[in-house]
Structure 1
Amino acid sequence: MGRGIDSEDTAPRPRMKSARPPAAAGEPPAASAPEPVGSGAPPPEPAPPPPSTDAASAKGEWDVVPVFYGTDRAQKPNEKRLDYGSDRGRRLELGRALVTVPRIHKVPSIERPWAIRVFNVTLYEEAEDPNRHFTMDEIKSLSEDEFLALVRTRLADSARYKDHAFIFVHGYNTSFDYAVYRTAQISYDLKFDGAAFAYSWPSGGGLASYTYDRESSGQAEPYLKQFMQLVINKTGAKSVSVIAHSMGNQPTLQVLRDLRRAKPDGVQISQIILAAPDVDRDNFENIANEIQGLASGVTLYAAGNDRALTVSRNFYGGVPRAGDVPATGPLVLPGIDTIDVSASSMDSLGLNHSGYAENNALLQDIAALIATGTRPPKLRTPALEEVTTDRGAYWRYPAALP
């Protein structure tokens, strides 16, 4: 199915939520979240995908996943629903989206309507169907008090990931809707019953928007900082993990450096997960040194075949980025676990950047990392190979994965 990655997702069409029949016999059931293999400490017991706290959580052949969001995008006109475009709003806006996930969902896909697009012009797109697609069941802008009340209710009902939260910051070429869908997909596939947060900075949402995206991600820094401080200081979450992908690492690392100087008592920043960071290598190393001690662990997932990093490398005259894997190998730094996922895939977090080898290996490792924090990586994911260099060890997925 086309996933709408080359332009912003179109607004959901009106639909009869019970008019469609259940999935036909023989169709695959909804895939369960991958469980870590060989962890040093076992993860929580498997549980059904976490329901929403709303009565809407079990309709038809789909489930509903709540995503709490922050954005500095400007709203754009849409008669059918609240919507955000690529323009800069120059303020933080909070809200909650209820995302439908079809029970025929396959990990780690985001099932969206098939479409034909030419130069960002949609020539044809099939109608949305929550029995088969991720859709926006509801989206609301909220005041800070409303936002916090809903988050606290979600955390109070959490069990498998008690009082846990994660914040996902997307990368280049990402629409608001796709950022929310990706956060819902991660939450659903991890069976995450804590609070899932998405921060969506004003990406242009197009392959040709690299320069705009780079500047736009930078100007989002103060709003992302405000959002992270809100999640860490006011929601009541006892453990917060941060997942940043590609260009989203630019503002995220700057904010983490600021937070290191004023880490609140009583809150554990559990895991910092930096996936294919589109960041200058030297700058990355400087900031990495400054955020030492902020979290229980920092993991760098690097990829030598990430298409967004290829664009960035060419843009900067062929100089590798922090998340790249050149012929000399990935970046290896003290206090950071570097994992080369070139033989795996970034599709669990990004926009099909390495879709030739899509599988669940990366998602499996993230599930184990958030659930257990087990280190070094090979203890939670035995398939990883350890590579020793003069700067220390890193890990990589073997060329042939099952």
Structure 2
Amino acid sequence: MSLAACASRPESGYLSPVAVMAPGAVDHTLLVATTRERDSRPGTLFNGERAGTVDYAEITVSVPPTHRESEIEWASTPPGDPNAVFVVRSEDYLDGDKAFVQALNAELAKRSPGKRKILLFIHGFNTMFAEGLYRLTQIAHDAKSPAVPVLFTWASRGKPTAYVYDTNSATAARDELEHTLRLLLASNAEEVNVLAHSMGNWVTVEAFRQIKISGNLDQVSKLGYVFLAAPDIDIDVFKSQMRRFGKPQKPFYIVLSKDDKALWLSRTIGGGVTRVGDNPDTAELAALGATVIDLTDVKANDSTNHDKFDQLAAVAPELRSVLAQGIAANPRAADLGGGVPQGALGAVVSLPITLIGAPIRIIANQ
């Protein structure tokens, strides 16, 4: 429900290509898979209505030289000044699976061996197409990630009052997300990492559940990190999903904040049942095979405390180091510079960066 700082929602016109390249700006080429309907309005590409089949696009977005970490600089009027705001440099629809995979492999080929990775982002509730596109751009840029950013965007209407419509749209997109995941895993990528936010976690976990049930797990070894940020999933439903998985070989990383006001509202709508993203019992989640990244003590950039995950991009290398090496045994004095040993439940890792001034608690099941 928290929105980027712009005068109005970017429903239409914000994706019109800007030919001028600003000095110091950085371009990022994103691949898009979507269940949204194409929109004929200039600078829009896709709207919030549901399409009959999955559709694809390739879009290059420019990040301005004045960009601030964790922020999206929006144009007050579209398409915007590339010296000061995010703008689209080029955009094109891609017709079918073959064209999508060819474009993806072409981007992967620009990376050297060892860096041919994919970052797949699945957005949450109340998200317009341009908002999901620019959020993934911000995350990829701030993380300085060499991965090819891929956006899976389902048909959210981008309205706070459309919760039921969005829930059904996310559910209807399960097969298409499963199909997209299989395309990514079968591509020339060396690793596929996944980041889902809010309601996007529902369709993500369901897609993984379907892959598990199918028994066809070719190329699943390419699956890297799976981050579930502020998951808007009924805790009992999540337990059922995890029972189907069994304890995963690679843990899901659940990014949560116990002061998440948006999930409090979702819990109210859902009959008072706890959502995974605001579950106070982090040990319970760890016992299911998840590793919990608790951002409760981190100051949010939004009033609902629902979008704290976007700040993790700035500390991505340090966070990857922590997760790769294990959790510190000493809950008070983890030092990323000296290496992090295997450790115990409830360890606290302090990331040395001014953007996040509070400790990040990382909780894993021993």
Q: Same fold (TM over 0.5)?
A: yes
Distance in 2 separating the partners of 1:176 and 1:360: 17
SS in 2 for 1:374: helix
Partner of 2:34: 71
Alpha-carbon contact 2:119-2:195 (below 8 Å) kept = yes
Distance in 2 separating the partners of 1:85 and 1:362: 28
- Matched residue type, 2:324: T
Alpha-carbon contact 1:339-1:396 (below 8 Å) kept = no
Alpha-carbon contact 2:12-2:44 (below 8 Å) kept = no
Alpha-carbon contact 2:116-2:189 (below 8 Å) kept = yes
Are the structure 2 counterparts of residues 378 and 157 from structure 1 closer, same or farther at C-alpha, using a change threshold of 3 Å?
farther
Partner of 1:98: 60
Most deviating of 272-281 and 295-304: 295-304
State the TM-score, normalizing by the size of structure 2: 0.81
- For residues 69-127 of structure 1, give each alpha carbon's deviation from its aligned partner in whole angstroms, at most 9, with x where no partner exists: 1000011231x34511111002100111111100111111111124xxxxxxxxxx476
Alpha-carbon contact 1:163-1:239 (below 8 Å) kept = yes
Are the structure 2 counterparts of residues 137 and 345 from structure 1 closer, same or farther at C-alpha, using a change threshold of 3 Å?
farther
Distance in 2 separating the partners of 1:201 and 1:338: 26
Partner of 1:257: 209
1:188 deviates by 1.0
- Matched residue type, 1:220: A
Alpha-carbon contact 2:140-2:313 (below 8 Å) kept = no
Question: What are the ranges of 5 or more consecutive residues in structure 2 without an aligned counterpart?
Answer: 337-343, 351-355, 360-366
SS in 2 for 1:393: coil
Distance in 2 separating the partners of 1:375 and 1:353: 32
Partner of 1:150: 103
Are the structure 2 counterparts of residues 128 and 395 from structure 1 closer, same or farther at C-alpha, using a change threshold of 3 Å?
farther
Distance in 1 separating the partners of 2:4 and 2:220: 44
Most deviating of 305-314 and 241-250: 305-314
Distance in 1 separating the partners of 2:191 and 2:4: 36
Distance in 2 separating the partners of 1:246 and 1:253: 12
Q: After superposition, where does 1:166-177 map in structure 2 within 5 Å? A: 166-177=119-130
1:320 deviates by 1.5
Are the structure 2 counterparts of residues 372 and 252 from structure 1 closer, same or farther at C-alpha, using a change threshold of 3 Å?
same
Question: What are the ranges of 5 or more consecutive residues in structure 1 without an aligned counterpart?
Answer: 19-57, 115-124, 385-391
Of residues 48, 51, 60 in structure 1, which corresponds to 2:23? Answer: 60
- Matched residue type, 2:312: L
Alpha-carbon contact 2:19-2:89 (below 8 Å) kept = no
- Matched residue type, 2:88: M
1:250 deviates by 0.7
SS in 2 for 1:108: coil
1:210 deviates by 1.3
1:368 deviates by 3.9
Partner of 1:51: none
Q: How many residues align?
A: 338
State the TM-score, normalizing by the size of structure 1: 0.74
Partner of 2:161: 208
Q: After superposition, where does 1:214-229 map in structure 2 within 5 Å? A: 214-229=167-182
Distance in 2 separating the partners of 1:378 and 1:303: 21
Distance in 2 separating the partners of 1:103 and 1:221: 37
C-alpha root-mean-square deviation of aligned residues, in Å? 3.3
**1:83 and 2:45 aligned:** yes
Distance in 2 separating the partners of 1:94 and 1:258: 22
Of residues 326, 340, 348 in structure 2, which corresponds to 1:376? Answer: 326
1:9 deviates by 3.7
Choose between structure 1 and 2 for higher RCO, CA contacts under 8 A separated by at least 6 residues.
1
Alpha-carbon contact 2:46-2:129 (below 8 Å) kept = yes
